[in-house]
Structure 1
Amino acid sequence: MADTEDPLSRAVIDAVLADLPDWRYQLDGLVTVFKTSTAADALALIAAVGQIAEEQNHHPDLDWRYNRVFLRYTSHDAGTQVTDRDVAAASAASEVAAVVGAVAEPGLYRSVELAIDTDDAPAISETWRVGLGYRKTADGALVDPYGRGPALWFQETDEPHENRMHVDVYRSLAESGPVLTKTESTGALMEHDHAPAWVVVTDSQGNRFCLCTEAEDGQD
């Protein structure tokens, strides 16, 4: 058994998720959405998840929207990676969700990041960090210390795109198919060179965003 402080490999995470059908892997965390019958039931679920967090001394990122509770577990002290603690917490959260009759809707959980094309990231990153009130991570990305705003990362290239900024939208691979189909039906240009890890979408005016999944580049 790996130490709870050690990040789990992708192979181990994928194996664990086979026993956690309520959950998906997304941006170095385990994520899901639980739908309850009423807002009161959602609050009961939040209270139960909070009690688990106190007992395990491991707290999730949590967002409440009426009768839906959005949850994300990651171990910040392990480099913001998934560890055994996240697996145990996710499993316990599913158990209490079942008690209140909540239904898992993991496909609703999506994350958004911003990316800027640049040939000199250090020359501009501090301006963005100060303006946004973010902090810099070890890999040079900028993140909201309170987890409210989207992360910002710098795509270093000798030939920045004409539209230097684009949006990365992350969904789980299991639920990505309908989104890709519907997006293509709008008439957008779809570049599948790196699918299923990401598909570059260009609208009719040349603006870009990427529809991303947890899959690795080149993975079938």
Structure 2
Amino acid sequence: MVGSENEARITAAEFRGGAGTAAWRVTATGPQAVFRAVSLTQAASLVGPAVEAAERLGILADIDVRPEGVIVCVPDRDFGGISAAAIAFSASVSTAAASLGLEPDPARIQSVGIYVAQHSATDARPFFAAALGYEDLGDGDAVDPLRRGPQLAFNPITGDVPRRGRTHFDVSVPADQAEARVAAALAAGGRLADDSHAPAWWSLASPDNHGVDIAAWSDDVGD
């Protein structure tokens, strides 16, 4: 059973070192691949092979079909790590995509989270979960049960002013795409607020001072 305690888990580095994973990257939510398409019909042609591979290998995959392409994810549902079977699943999907003329596009791979900073005496998670129809995940996160919307994380700020909410977006992209994404945001009028954690992440601000962190999710992450 996927997500069980006895399931073999691997690291991001082990996944990316597996055969057939060249089109895939690991972000904050797990392994993901994007394959470009020219029509909804072409994109949907990958669903059958992907479902067959998922059923055969015991993977609970997310498959998002759009006219511009198809996104296939192996979501990390419990912070337990990547299923070892994800390597074989990814290889099968990539082979099927190639046979259908669907080209991989790693530059489009990303996962988006929203980080809610809250006063240390406040628990804002119940409110956001109720308003968005989300479910609790772990000790401090909340997720869309169908994983359509961005994951939420709640970070206490000790000593901050009560009743003052602070929220920023966290955009997790493959490590080889991060600097290009930062450069594009700066060229579009953004401001570099903090690069002391680079190349792990860059904190940016919009022209009117809304926060966005660009996080380089490295395939060399071992834990």
Cross-structure match for 2:215: 212
Tell me the CA shift for residue 43 of structure 1: 1.7
Paired with 1:80 and 1:63, the residues of 2 have a C-alpha distance of 23
CA contact (8 A) 2:11 2:81 kept: no
Task: Name the TM-score, length of structure 1 as normaliser.
Answer: 0.85
CA contact (8 A) 1:74 1:80 kept: no
Q: Which runs of 5+ in 1 are unaligned?
A: none
Cross-structure match for 1:57: 58
Paired with 2:124 and 2:179, the residues of 1 have a C-alpha distance of 36
Task: Name the % identity.
Answer: 23
Equivalences for 1:169-188 in 2 at 5 Å? 169-188=171-190
CA RMSD of aligned residues (A): 2.5
Match of 1:8 among 7, 10, 22: 10
Cross-structure match for 2:169: 167
Cross-structure match for 2:46: 45
Equivalences for 1:14-93 in 2 at 5 Å? 14-16=16-18, 20-74=21-75, 76=77, 79=79, 81-93=81-93
CA contact (8 A) 2:202 2:215 kept: yes
- 1:213 partner SS: strand
Cross-structure match for 2:195: 192
Check if 1:201 corresponds to 2:204: yes
Tell me the CA shift for residue 11 of structure 1: 3.8
Paired with 2:205 and 2:137, the residues of 1 have a C-alpha distance of 29
Paired with 2:123 and 2:139, the residues of 1 have a C-alpha distance of 15
- 2:17 partner SS: helix
Q: Which runs of 5+ in 2 are unaligned?
A: none
Tell me the CA shift for residue 132 of structure 1: 1.6
Check if 1:97 corresponds to 2:97: yes
Comparing both chains, which one has the higher relative contact order based on Cα–Cα distances under 8 Å and sequence gaps of 6 or more? Answer: 2
Tell me the CA shift for residue 8 of structure 1: 1.1
CA contact (8 A) 2:62 2:73 kept: yes
Q: Cα gap change, 1:42/1:19 in structure 2, threshold over 3 Å: closer, same or farther?
A: closer
Q: Cα gap change, 1:79/1:198 in structure 2, threshold over 3 Å: closer, same or farther?
A: closer
- 1:204 partner SS: coil
Paired with 2:121 and 2:81, the residues of 1 have a C-alpha distance of 24
**Count of residue pairs the alignment pairs up:** 212
Q: Which amino acid aligns with 1:52?
A: A
Tell me the CA shift for residue 75 of structure 1: 5.3
User: Bigger shift: 91-100 or 184-193?
Assistant: 184-193
Tell me the CA shift for residue 215 of structure 1: 3.3
CA contact (8 A) 2:16 2:25 kept: no
Paired with 2:134 and 2:17, the residues of 1 have a C-alpha distance of 34
Check if 1:113 corresponds to 2:113: yes
